[in-house]
Amino acid sequence: MPPADVFVPYGPTHWVVLGIGAAGAVLLVVARRRLRGRPAGTTSDRAFAVAILAFQVPLQLRRLTPEHWNLYTSLPLQLSDLAWMTAAYALWSGRWWACSPLYYWGLTLTPQALFTPALDAPDFPHVDFIAFWGLHLLLPWVALYLTWGAGVRPTWKGLRVTLAATVLWAALVLGFNSVAGTNYGFLSHKPDNPSLLDLLGPWPWYLLVEFVLVVAGWILITWPWTRRRTCRGGRPLHIA
């Protein structure tokens, strides 16, 4: 058995985190819906952006200090790193092309970390525990906040932008992994802990299967929004 102070998937702290995630999502969506069409909505969005930066930037700087530096984990090359930077910019600017990826990344890719966490670290309240769960809760929260709270609506154009950004990230990070011997994004081999990737075959085939499944899933979660817009006249993609 692992030591008592080491995080255990589906142990007490894991369930608490998942509960916080669900409750926080509801509160954020309800609060933002009440601010639609009001100047306070923009203030709320920008406050959320500042909160993300205030949480993530010090943690990233900590990973780069000599005491905590590790080539294999310290660089901001995970897709979740790209996602939190995009989230902060999207919330501050309201640009449609920045908002678009958060719906897809936050609701389909990040949940894998929530339910099959690759976290080999001390349990709460260790800073690594807080860093991991804080990031992986923030991204679904932003996706839900923008989509159901602020009224941002997914579009086929947004899906294409997200696919292009994701493929570019994967190509660059896979190239870095091959040179540095790292495994950012689990693009070079599967995580050691059980995950959905275990069902997709060996490397590199699981990357291709994952890509096909992701594209199919993203199409499925885009179609209802575009169909409703065509039938009922929905909103354009912007923060309202």
In a domain, 7, yes or no: no
- In the DSSP assignment, the letter for residue 123 is -
Residue 240 belongs to a domain? no
The 3 state secondary structure assigned to 56-105 is HHHHHHHHHCCCCCCCCCCCCCCHHHHHHHHHHHHHHHCCHHHHHHHHHH
Count helices and strands (H / E) in the chain. Answer: 8, 0
54 occurs within a structural domain: yes
pLDDT tens-digit series, residues 86-112: 999 999 999 999 999 999 999 998 888
Predicted pLDDT of residue 9:
87
Domain assignment of residue 20, yes or no? yes
226 touches 145 (CB < 8 A)? no
* Residue 166 is assigned to a structural domain of this protein: yes
Supply the pLDDT for residue 3: 53
Tens of pLDDT, residue by residue over 18-51, are 999 999 999 999 999 999 989 999 999 999 999 9
How large is the average pLDDT for residues 124-137?
A: 93
Q: Does a structural domain hold residue 2?
A: no
Sign of the C-alpha dihedral computed for residues 139, 140, 146 and 147 taken in this order: positive
Q: For the whole model, what pTM was predicted?
A: 0.88
Query: What's the structural domain count of the chain?
Result: 1
Rounded distance between C-alpha atoms, residue 62 and residue 78, angstroms: 16
Q: If pLDDT is split at 50, 70 and 90, which confidence band does 235 have?
A: very low
Residue linked to tokens 């780069």: 64
- How far is residue 142's CA from residue 102's CA, in Å, rounded to a whole number? 7
Q: Would 5 be classed as within a structural domain?
A: no
- Give the residues across from 197 on adjacent strands: none
Is 71 among the domain residues?
A: yes
Residue range of the domain that includes 200 = 12-232
**Angle 79-93/39-64 helices, nearest 10 degrees?**
150
